[in-house]
Amino acid sequence: MEKNRRKEIGVAIRIVAWLGIMSVSLGSACTSSSQIRRDITDLDEELGALEAAEARLCTPEELARAKAHREFAAHELSEHDYQDAQDHLDVAFENVERAKRLLQNCKVVERTPPPSPEPTP
């Protein structure tokens, strides 16, 4: 009798633990989805500010990477792959920060094209 009771308690503990893990996972998935949507909106604002500052002239690689990873994050979100979406957002925000740092020291020099060569007779 004692042995069966311990076995039943062990099964009950495993079931409660599993239910707890599942409820946390499901709750965090919903939170992750809404948080990822907010992060994408924030990233769009950051990218817009970089575009306005003409970051493409000084930091084209960082800007391109940030935009690409933003698109990857949006795709992963649409596929309900929240962890991969968050990973892409992390990379995108890293590139935004790198672009901001590089942009501080950037000096765009207006260049005039060289004169056209004189036609030969």
Whether 71 is in a domain gets the answer yes
Confidence of residue 64 (pLDDT cuts 50, 70, 90): very high
Whether 69 is in a domain gets the answer yes
Whether 56 is in a domain gets the answer yes
Whether 44 is in a domain gets the answer yes
Least confident of 11-20, 50-59, 63-72, 85-94: 11-20
Domain that holds residue 43: 29-104
Question: ∠43-78-24 over CA atoms, to 5°?
Answer: 90
Whether 90 is in a domain gets the answer yes
3-state SS assignment for residue 111:
coil
Whether 4 is in a domain gets the answer no
Helix (H) or strand (E) holding 20: helix 2-52
pLDDT at 118: 86
Number of domains in the chain: 1
Spatial separation of the C-alpha atoms in residues 111 and 43, rounded to whole Å: 32
Confidence of residue 14 (pLDDT cuts 50, 70, 90): confident
Contacts of 80 (CB under 8 A, 6+ apart): 33
Q: Would you say residue 20 has pLDDT above 90?
A: no
Joined tokens for residue 25: 């996972």
Q: Would you say residue 27 has pLDDT above 60?
A: no
Task: Please state the length of the chain.
Answer: 121
Are 66 and 99 spatial neighbours (Cβ–Cβ below 8 Å)?
yes
User: Full-prediction pTM beyond 0.85?
Assistant: no
Whether 2 is in a domain gets the answer no
